[in-house]
Amino acid sequence: MNELLYERALVWIILLPLIGAVLNGLLGRFADKNLVSALGVGSVAGSFFLALVCFAHLFTGMDAANEHGAQIAVTAYQWFHLSLPTFGGGVHEVGIDVRFLMDALSGLMTLVVTGVGLVIHVYSLGYMKEDPGYARFFAYLNLFLASMLILVLGSNLPVMFVGWEGVGLCSYLLIGFWYQTPAFAAAGKKAFIANRIGDFGVLIGMFILVSAAGSFEFADINSAAPSLTQPFFLGTWQMGTLATAAGLFLFLGCTGKSAQIPLYVWLPDAMAGPTPVSALIHAATMVTAGVYLTCRLSPVFMQSPVAMGVIAVIGASTALLAASIAVAQKEMKRILAYSTVSQLGFMFAAVGVGAFSAGFYQVFTHAFFKACLFLGAGSVMHAIGSHTDADIFRLGGLHKKMPKTSWTFLLAACSIAGVPLFAGFFSKDGILLGASELAYSPEPLSANWVGGFVLVALTLAATMTAFYMFRMYFLAFTGEYRSTGEEGAAHGAHDHHAYDPNPHESPDTMTWPLIILAAGAVSLGLLGLPTEWHLTNWWQGWMGHSIASVHAAAEGAEGAEESGLTIAYWTALASGVLAMAVGIGAAYKLYYNRADDRFRDAMPGRLYQLMADKWRVDELYQRVILGPLAGLATFVGWIDQTFVDMLLTRIPSKLALLSGFVATRIQNGRVYAYGAVMTVGLAVVSWFFVTPHPNLEGQAEGATAHFEAAAGMGYAYRWDFDSDGTWDAPTQGSEEGFGAERSPSHEYAFSALRGRVLLIAQPDGDDARVLVTEEPRPLPASLLPAGWMEDPTGDATLPSVRLEGTEIVLRRNSAVFSTPHGAIADEEVHLGIGDHVIVGRPETSRTDIAVRGLVEATVEVENAFGNRAHESLELVVNVPPERSEPAQARLTTATDEVLR
């Protein structure tokens, strides 16, 4: 078929739920409920259908021994372009495209997401029917699905990160869906914050990878993986290799998103959201995003034994820890939440020991049985009328009342416990096999003890898994219903919600999804049959191209066939079966048809209490992190109130009040005070009138200067234009005479000049003046342009200037002088008034130096009172050459351009 068609289909897989989300979100509350349902479910159904079509296309092409395996890829557009420094110096030009890719890994994941998503959407039709936020729910759910698809189908890290953040956001929106209850809103916040801490890790890991590999695309990063064994420096401290650093940081993100130690604490609280949300997000899809990421970048992780070891140990520890907590819980959803954390631990343990495809297989099967379990719990809650959770100790006998729910629940429980031939058995078996292979391996990927630890821990966890699952099943579904009538009332008095005394089976929209999921939980084992039984392992075949694995590394050397029934294999099989048997057996003995908790009675009290209290991890975080943060916030708030408020508000207000206080004292209502003020004013004005004020201003044009003095009452003036000490106006050479000439003009002759001055044009438009004296003085470098010297490197001597008779002599030294006619080569230049030169190298910015004359004029003023005052002014005039005495060696520059 046409490749383009599949590429388009790929984009529409994502777009359909997105459109559904937007429409339902904006217009849903005004529309008919059926329309909202149709849009919400229909968009996912369409997406699922397209995913099937694309995967089928891939499937037929998958047998081809293509280097990359079959894939469909489509690039939408280039998002942006970066220039990034690399670790070895140099710069990468990195383009970030919005690009989607479907290969075996993402194709299967897409199928899971859309398929399970579709089933859960249908379930929600019944479950959320009476909720007032119906349209909002479907909008969020669609948005989540769209984000998850972006995450899974993204072909490079940034696009994946967009989806990563999107699902985090939708998780927050959906957990806190009933936000009117503060506890639920707080749970949503907790989820978002824990996720954000992890996102920091993802970002750092992303940056390390792009700096090393030069691209954000998964394909490029994976093929550059062998180069990541260079050491990684944090400043000067070496922190392992690039692969280790990237791997650890990315894993931090996975601990946030996929609820591992230390960031798992949000998942149990997330049960505050509606049950379909728990099923979809926290069982089937979002939480597995971390595993997906590690599988996607498996070549990178494989390069770092340290990272792999860390992942394995943390995964196994989480599995053990969570299982131990689940054993002591009494509410269904809570048990299932911890079970999810535990199962995720299994998946990461698988990844850590190198069994990537086994881990991903667990993702696949877990989606089905966990979703089925959650929806079953939701069905029970729907039947008993609880919105929050279902206490198994108040249930019982539901097998008779809700047979469909009970049977599907049982099947899913068998699957998760690892009953042979169910799907969960094969996936768990694969994980244990990977662990035991690592334990026995002669060349371990990380270390043998890691394998041993994982094996033991996972076995214990598997035992506990089987135990708590069947504990839950037996207590809830076998025996007699414990919430009818008086017993129910007695229990109901403790909590606030009494259960429906007569629960009945859920409607079809809710039971059909259960049936579908249970069928998957049972049958999908057929996909991943172990190669040791000489049966076709479809799964490994598909995954082989997308996921690295220990087997591939080994098989690549020998050939593609199975390694046979080794001791590692038997160890794994035995552990798995033993765990299941012990767990189910113990649960049967303790809880079948019983109502009391004999397990708790048998355990030491303090230990049991710790397990029931989730090992007090939340309290630890509160003490160590959140409490001090709150304290810091309070402290900072105190500083703000005391200092910032003081400085910015109280002090200015006090100042304003103070100044007002002072200013108002002037008005004391008494006549003598006002009179005093008036007298002061009168005195000042009188003083102004009694003293004369010349206020001399002047302007020069060419050789003529025009002066103006201030006009005043009874003022008389006399002028001295040439600063020779004798008064020139009103009558020439007069001594005593004052006249009325207020604004005379005077034309200067050469002999009237007081001195010579160089005008150096400055960049800001003004001219700097340099007085020329008989002593040679250098021109200040600050007034010359930057390129004034001949030779930029090396020392440069400033040009100097001196007065010789009536001429100016400029000594060039290291400067570059030129005229409009060309450069000046002489060492000394003789200039007269009106000449100018240009200083600076031709290719740089140059400035003009002009030679002018300096004059000083004085005016004396007498007022009516007989008081006198005088003022002087300096002006620059340009006396034309015919007024000057002849100079000696002149420049041949045309000076007529100077005359304006």
Partner 1 sequence: MSTPNMVLLIVSGLLALGGALGTVAANRPLRAAVALLVNIVALSGIFLSLHAQFLAMVQLIVYAGAVVVLFVFVIMMVGATEKVPRTLRGLTPRTLSLVLMSLVALMLVFGVVYVAMPAQDLPEDYGTVMGLGAVLFTQAALPFEMVSITLTVAIVGALAVGRGRTPKEAEAAKAAEAARQLEGAERLAEERRISAEVSAHGGH
Partner 2 sequence: MAVEFPIGIYIALASALFGIGAVGFLIRRNALIQLMSIELMLNAVNVSLVAFNRAHPETQAGQVFAFFVIAVAAAEAAVGLAIVISLYRLKQTVETDSADELRY
Shortest Cβ 714–partner 1 spacing (Å): 11
Shortest Cβ 681–partner 2 spacing (Å): 13
Choice between 489 and 869, CB closer to partner 1: 869
Choice between 686 and 745, CB closer to partner 2: 686
Choice between 553 and 683, CB closer to partner 2: 683
Choice between 686 and 699, CB closer to partner 1: 686
Taking CB under 8 A as the binding criterion, the range among 24-32, 396-404, 496-504, 682-690 that sits at the site for partner 1 is 682-690
Distance CA 151, CA 148 (A): 5
Distance CA 718, CA 725 (A): 12
Site string for partner 2, 675-704 (x = CB under 8 A): xx--x-------------------------
Among partner 1, partner 2, none, residue 589 binds (CB under 5-8 Å by kind): none
Strands 817-819 and 836-839 come out as antiparallel
What burial letters (b/e) apply to 177-208, b meaning 16+ CB within 10 Å?
bbeeeeebbebbebbbebbeebbebbbbbbeb
Choice between 4 and 671, CB closer to partner 1: 671
Among partner 2, partner 1, none, residue 667 binds (CB under 5-8 Å by kind): partner 2
Task: Compute the Cα dihedral for 546, 552, 556, 560 and give only its sign.
Answer: negative
Among partner 2, partner 1, none, residue 504 binds (CB under 5-8 Å by kind): none
The answer, yes or no, to whether the previous bond of 744 is cis (omega within 30 of 0) is: no
CB 190 within 8 A of CB 269: yes
Shortest Cβ 176–partner 2 spacing (Å): 59
Q: Which of residues 685-704 bind partner 1 (CB under 8 A)?
A: 686, 690
Shortest Cβ 738–partner 1 spacing (Å): 17
Distances (CA, A) of 27 to 180, 216, 816: 22, 37, 77
Residue 52 CA, chain-centre distance (Å), reads 35
CB 257 within 8 A of CB 168: yes
Q: What is the DSSP string of 6-60?
A: HHHHHHHHHHHHHHHHHHHHHHGGGS-HHHHHHHHHHHHHHHHHHHHHHHHHHHH
Q: Which of residues 850-889 bind partner 1 (CB under 8 A)?
A: 865
Choice between 624 and 673, CB closer to partner 2: 673
From the list 680, 711, 781, 894, which residue makes contact with partner 1 (rule: CB under 8 A)? 680
Choice between 2 and 668, CB closer to partner 2: 668
Among partner 2, partner 1, none, residue 664 binds (CB under 5-8 Å by kind): partner 2
Tell me, what amino acid is at 442?
P
Choice between 667 and 743, CB closer to partner 2: 667
Among partner 2, partner 1, none, residue 695 binds (CB under 5-8 Å by kind): none
DSSP state of 212: H
Distance CA 266, CA 271 (A): 9
Binding residues with partner 2: total (CB under 8 A)? 11
Question: Position of tokens 């049936």?
Answer: 515
From the list 183, 565, 630, 682, which residue makes contact with partner 1 (rule: CB under 8 A)? 682
Site string for partner 1, 816-855 (x = CB under 8 A): ----------------------------------------
Q: Where are the alpha helices (DSSP H) in 385-446?
A: 398-401, 403-417, 423-440
Choice between 76 and 864, CB closer to partner 1: 864
Q: Is 670 a residue that touches partner 1 (CB under 8 A)?
A: yes
Among partner 2, partner 1, none, residue 665 binds (CB under 5-8 Å by kind): partner 2
Among partner 2, partner 1, none, residue 449 binds (CB under 5-8 Å by kind): none
Choice between 536 and 679, CB closer to partner 2: 679
Q: What is the DSSP string of 750-794?
A: GGG--EEEEEEE-TTS-EEEEEE-SS-EEPPGGGS-TT-BS-SSS
Distances (CA, A) of 738 to 688, 691, 734: 21, 17, 9
Distance CA 411, CA 649 (A): 69
Reference 175, options 282, 260, 264; nearest CA is 282
Among partner 1, partner 2, none, residue 641 binds (CB under 5-8 Å by kind): partner 1
Shortest Cβ 678–partner 2 spacing (Å): 9
From the list 93, 596, 601, 645, which residue makes contact with partner 1 (rule: CB under 8 A)? 645
Q: Is 200 a residue that touches partner 1 (CB under 8 A)?
A: no
Reference 40, options 131, 130, 144, 111; nearest CA is 144
Say how many Å lie between the first and final Cα of the chain, rounded.
86
What length is written for the chain?
900
Question: Position of tokens 């609880």?
Answer: 386
Distance CA 225, CA 385 (A): 54
Among partner 2, partner 1, none, residue 680 binds (CB under 5-8 Å by kind): partner 1
Shortest Cβ 677–partner 2 spacing (Å): 11
CA atoms within 13 A on the CB side of 297: 37
Among partner 1, partner 2, none, residue 683 binds (CB under 5-8 Å by kind): partner 1
Choice between 504 and 670, CB closer to partner 1: 670
Shortest Cβ 669–partner 2 spacing (Å): 3
Q: Where are the alpha helices (DSSP H) in 214-288?
A: 218-223, 242-257, 266-269, 275-279
Q: Which of residues 641-680 bind partner 2 (CB under 8 A)?
A: 664-665, 667-672, 675-676, 679
Choice between 668 and 732, CB closer to partner 1: 668
Residue 535: count of CB within 10 angstroms of its CB? 12
Backbone angles phi, psi at 780, to 5 degrees: -65, 135
Choice between 87 and 643, CB closer to partner 1: 643
**Could you tell me which residues come within 8 angstroms of residue 44 by beta carbon, excluding any fewer than 6 positions away?**
16, 17, 20, 114, 117, 118, 121, 142, 145
Choice between 681 and 792, CB closer to partner 1: 681
Among partner 1, partner 2, none, residue 669 binds (CB under 5-8 Å by kind): partner 2
Among partner 1, partner 2, none, residue 732 binds (CB under 5-8 Å by kind): none
- 814: tokens are 């290291």
Q: Is 490 a residue that touches partner 1 (CB under 8 A)?
A: no
From the list 672, 735, 740, 793, which residue makes contact with partner 1 (rule: CB under 8 A)? 672
Shortest Cβ 694–partner 1 spacing (Å): 20
- Binding residues (CB under 8 A) for partner 2: these are 664-665, 667-672, 675-676, 679
User: Residue numbers of the site for partner 1 (CB under 8 A)?
Assistant: 641, 645, 649-650, 670, 672-673, 675-676, 679-680, 682-683, 686, 690, 865
